[in-house]
Amino acid sequence: MTEEGAGGKHEQVIKSVAAASFYAFMSGAMAFINKSLVTNYGFNCPMFILLIQMLMLVCAFEACSTLRLITLSAYTAQLGKSLLYPSLLYIASSSFALLSLSDLNIPMYNVIKRLCPLANVLLARFMLHNYGISPRVLSTVLLITVGSVLAGYGDLTFSMESYFYGLASTISQSLYLLMVQKCAKEDAISVLDISYIISVNAFPMCLISIFIFGELPKLTSFHGWHLQGFAANFFLVTFSGTLLVYSQFLCTSVTSALTTSVSSSIKSVLTTIIGLFTFGGIHVTPMGAFGIALNTVGGVLYTLFKYLESKRPLTVPTSIRS
């Protein structure tokens, strides 16, 4: 390898590590920032939060396009219609996630969100053609699921409502990602255009939802607008949501979708550990603690096996292939 080639490869490695680290940091930080806003200030208006995030996203996309930093396809009714359902599912996933954090601690939130692989396995068999899964990856999905059940059973602060919101967020997120994957392959829409179109679609949806779900009276009667630190926390929630979408796109484009999932898995482990000692910690039985550990190990093994399978062609048994 020439010196120039080695230098270029080294530079690419640095960019990849920086992009993956940026995404992992933003993804992990969002859970704590959202939790802080809901727990410390009692601000339970997820649709309003999403409305501001979508507004900031659209403005950021338009500004970058005007400055020719990025290339965007013009928004059309046809493109908007093609991503209508993913837009609805994105709003559902994000709003349910915010609602679940009102009574759910960070480690248990991570436990439930790790059920995404199970939801993907079940849903992908019906939504994607030629979908297959190896036995060892399937075993890690089952390990994650068993760990989640044990963790929930041993959670002394169990809240059925919060668990329902967490599961609803997981299912809608899986549907959203599968539909986006399908749109990207069948309609050849770039990840950046998908993010932009969904942001435009989601803005009026969030605005209407504020009235449908009765958030307007909550906003007008909320007395925490002038509390110390609220403005900074609210700005962090909305701005970080924008950066999270950008960091996810950056990580996927600079590295790969697989690296993005690896970063997410590492983030999940770290936030689980930090969550044990923040926001009042976690109150679980030994069985619950074992479930969290089982769930975490399953998440790490799932990512490891998917990585190993990406390194070589994999023959999936007919009995498991859809």
Burial of residue 13 (number of CB atoms within 10 Å: 0-12, 13-18, 19+): exposed
Across 150-164, 165-179, 282-296, which has the greatest mean pLDDT?
A: 165-179
State the Cα–Cα distance between residues 163 and 281, nearest whole angstrom. 17
State the Cα–Cα distance between residues 182 and 186, nearest whole angstrom. 6
Report the chain's mean pLDDT, rounded to a whole number: 75
Assigned token pair, 306: 């998917």
Confidence band for 315, pLDDT divided at 50, 70 and 90? very low
Residue 92 neighbours by CB under 8 Å, 6+ apart: 168, 169, 172, 176
Beta bridge partners of 284: 155
State the Cα–Cα distance between residues 127 and 122, nearest whole angstrom. 9
**The whole model's pTM is what?**
0.68
End-to-end CA distance of the chain: 43
Give pLDDT tens digits for 88-128. 988 888 888 877 776 676 666 767 766 666 676 677 666 66
Do 141 and 79 form a contact (C-beta atoms < 8 A)?
Answer: no
Give pLDDT tens digits for 32-89. 787 778 778 888 888 898 899 889 889 988 998 898 888 888 899 988 988 898 889 8
